[in-house]
């Protein structure tokens, strides 16, 4: 789900608009930040989708809310499962990485075939794979967005690979920082060893002198992750190691940098209540906790995304859970998440609390802002859920009627449609790491229904955390006789 939030003076109510809800075929699990062009079009990725393979899409959302799928991944040599956002050059080309796909002879634990690619998508939707990772010392599993310099060089990180003997990598490597030049030549700028960090999953920040700044979500002196600087000459300096106290743990998101050289970011855990922090690292390397998320109703928790900073020094971000602690019941942590502001980097104001079905749930990425101070972001889940479509005995949807034999469970994380002689598409998105539900799956099936079809759903119940087979369901075209089995 893509949402827009109008930022108005704090005494007034904030207005949230749902710009689109993904239906499973056009995308599922948009976990990355968006990019916006001068015409107001938004571009992004979904980690899952594509009815045949479930390996993700690149999409465009125009100012009227019309969504266009620009490219669907097959999970083959073109890549699969893009987890981070896209970047866009002045010619309208989009650049991105994928977690897997590419060189299918490469396999690392944590990938589903292939070690990932860097690709370019031109304005016509033509994909060019700029580099396929081979694992080993080169790196594997690309979770983060790229950055691009004025010469066209791309910089990014791999979560795995590099130094395969590193202290924190269990034989899989602790990850790398790399550069890819316009000719397609890859240079590994740094391989993490554990004490200097491990498992970087964030986009980098580059200053005018060519220094790169980023976070590693694990490793460091206290195994809680690091903030690092990689100098133009290739020397890495650890600016801060997390885990020595209540300074935060596990900085999975990237950093932002102000004109004075201060760095700002989030940690998913740690802090006074162990629920995450917003932090600042100054130019001398001193870390300060600007906010610790508290265990109380209305407060967010577990921020996975980075921050946005405006001209007045206010910081904006999202939390993946918390807010209304009665919402998103049965998920790993209570609450569907929030949008927050740290006024002048200090006082927290919750701008919006997500409620799942109406406006989305689990925002995992940083926000972007337009010139009118509207904020835009993606909620990885929510929208009209499976539970909404299965809560009554009948719904008219698209061309079909959907009749459950008996009400299925609440929210499903996996839907499988068996192959059948009518050529019905296979829809089987993989289970996400935290078992979150996929919106609109039954709606998608029903809206594509043109013939009678019997099928079963296999689902993961968020309450019992167990797999089960649900009752036999039936779809038939509208105005045909409905039947229950």
Pairwise pLDDT comparison (412 vs 228), residue with the higher score: 228
Tens-digit pLDDT profile for residues 359-388: 888 999 999 999 888 999 998 887 643 333
Partnered with residue 171 across adjacent β-strands are none
Is the pLDDT reported for residue 138 higher than 60?
A: yes
Is the pLDDT reported for residue 45 higher than 60?
A: yes
pLDDT at residue 25, rounded to an integer = 72
Would you say 45 and 56 are in contact if contact means Cβ atoms under 8 Å apart?
A: yes
Pairwise pLDDT comparison (7 vs 471), residue with the higher score: 7
pLDDT at residue 316, rounded to an integer = 95
Reported pTM = 0.79
Compute the distance between CA of residue 258 and CA of residue 264 in angstroms, rounded to an integer: 8
pLDDT at residue 431, rounded to an integer = 28
pLDDT at residue 3, rounded to an integer = 60
Q: What is the mean pLDDT of residues 192-197?
A: 96
Tens-digit pLDDT profile for residues 432-467: 322 223 333 333 333 333 333 333 333 332 333 333
pLDDT at residue 183, rounded to an integer = 96
Across 18-22, 50-54, 393-397, the highest mean pLDDT is recorded for 18-22
The beta-carbon contacts of 256-261 under 8 Å, at least 24 apart in sequence, are 256/205, 256/306, 256/307, 256/308, 256/309, 257/205, 257/207, 257/213, 258/309, 258/313, 261/207
Backbone angles phi, psi at 337, to 5 degrees: 110, 170
The CA-atom distances, in angstroms, between 387 and each of 4, 43, 127, 416 are: 25, 29, 36, 16
CA contacts within 13 A on the Cβ side of 306: 25
- 386 SS3 class: helix
Would you say 434 and 375 are in contact if contact means Cβ atoms under 8 Å apart?
A: no
Would you say 321 and 331 are in contact if contact means Cβ atoms under 8 Å apart?
A: yes
Would you say 129 and 155 are in contact if contact means Cβ atoms under 8 Å apart?
A: no
Average pLDDT, the chain: 78
């Amino acid at each position: 789900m893509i949402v827009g939030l109008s930022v108005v003076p704090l005494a007034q109510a904030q207005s949230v608009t749902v710009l689109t809800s993904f239906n499973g075929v056009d995308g599922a699990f948009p976990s990355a930040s968006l990019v916006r062009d001068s015409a107001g079009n938004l571009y992004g990725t979904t980690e899952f989708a594509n009815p045949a393979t479930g390996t993700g899409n690149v999409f465009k959302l125009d100012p009227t809310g019309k969504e266009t799928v620009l490219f669907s991944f097959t999970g083959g040599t073109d890549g699969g499962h893009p987890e981070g956002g896209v970047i866009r050059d002045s010619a309208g080309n989009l650049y991105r990485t994928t977690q897997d796909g590419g060189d299918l002879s490469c396999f690392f634990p944590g990938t589903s075939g292939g070690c990932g690619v860097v690709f370019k998508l031109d304005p016509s939707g033509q994909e060019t794979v700029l580099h396929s990772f081979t694992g080993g010392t080169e790196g594997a599993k690309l979770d983060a967005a790229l950055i691009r310099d004025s010469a066209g060089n791309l910089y990014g990180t791999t979560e795995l690979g590099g130094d395969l003997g590193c202290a924190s990598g269990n034989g899989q490597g602790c990850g790398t920082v790399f550069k890819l030049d316009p000719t397609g030549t890859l240079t590994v700028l740094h391989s993490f060893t554990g004490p200097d960090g491990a498992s970087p999953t964030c986009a980098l920040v580059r200053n005018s002198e060519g220094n790169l700044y980023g976070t590693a979500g694990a490793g460091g002196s206290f195994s809680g992750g690091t903030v690092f600087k990689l100098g133009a000459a290739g020397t890495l300096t650890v600016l801060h190691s997390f885990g020595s106290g209540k300074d935060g743990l596990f900085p999975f998101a990237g950093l932002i940098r102000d004109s004075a050289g201060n760095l700002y970011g989030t940690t998913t855990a740690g802090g006074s209540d162990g629920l995450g922090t917003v932090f600042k690292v100054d130019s001398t390397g001193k870390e300060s906790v600007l906010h610790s998320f508290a265990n109380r109703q209305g407060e967010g928790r577990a921020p996975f995304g980075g921050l946005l900073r405006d001209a007045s020094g206010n910081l904006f971000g999202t939390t993946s859970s918390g807010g209304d602690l009665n919402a998103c019941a049965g998920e790993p942590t209570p609450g569907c998440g929030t949008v927050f502001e740290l006024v002048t980097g200090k006082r927290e104001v919750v701008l919006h609390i997500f409620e799942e079905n109406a406006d989305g749930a689990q925002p995992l990425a940083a926000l972007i802002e337009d010139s009118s101070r509207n904020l835009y972001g993606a909620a990885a889940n929510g929208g009209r859920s499976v539970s909404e479509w299965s809560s009554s005995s009948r719904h008219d949807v698209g061309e079909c009627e959907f009749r459950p034999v008996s009400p299925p469970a609440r929210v499903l994380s996996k839907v499988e449609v068996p192959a059948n002689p009518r050529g019905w598409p296979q829809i089987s998105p993989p289970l996400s790491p935290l078992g979150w539900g996929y919106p609109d799956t039954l709606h998608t099936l029903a809206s594509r229904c043109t013939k009678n079809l019997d099928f079963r759903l296999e689902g993961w119940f968020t309450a019992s955390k167990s797999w089960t087979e649900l009752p036999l369901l039936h779809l038939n075209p509208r105005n045909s006789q409905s039947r229950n089995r």
